[in-house]
Amino acid sequence: MPVSDDDAELCWLCGRPLGRRVEYHHPVPKSRGGRETLAVHPICHRTIHATFTNAELARSYATAEALCGHPDIARFIDWIADKPPDFHAPTRRAKR
């Protein structure tokens, strides 16, 4: 479940506690004028970018709620929910 900006120690996408490695996601990609960054797990960050283009992120998926509403991301969130904070697995690119 996505979290609010008040929960800095939690992943913006999945809501799990952050681990040793943290990456920062631009909800609106830098290439589209985005400046805000939010802390995410590396696996969550890779999944976002493997699923959507920067144009799609800027146009339709700039919030955690919108991302979680997409079936592929919802399935990922369900799968990752019980994994430890530093869990890593290969990320597959979505078929476009």
Write the DSSP string, 10-74.
Answer: B-TTT-PBP-S--EEE-SS-GGGT----EEE-HHHHHHHHHH--HHHHHHH--SHHHHHHSHHHH
Looking at residue 45, its pLDDT comes to 96
Looking at residue 7, its pLDDT comes to 47
pTM comes to 0.85
Looking at residue 8, its pLDDT comes to 52
Looking at residue 22, its pLDDT comes to 96
Looking at residue 95, its pLDDT comes to 57
**14-28 burial: b if 16+ Cβ within 10 Å, else e:** bbbebeeeebebbbb
Mean pLDDT by groups of 10 residues along the chain of 96 residues: 58 96 95 94 96 95 95 96 92 67
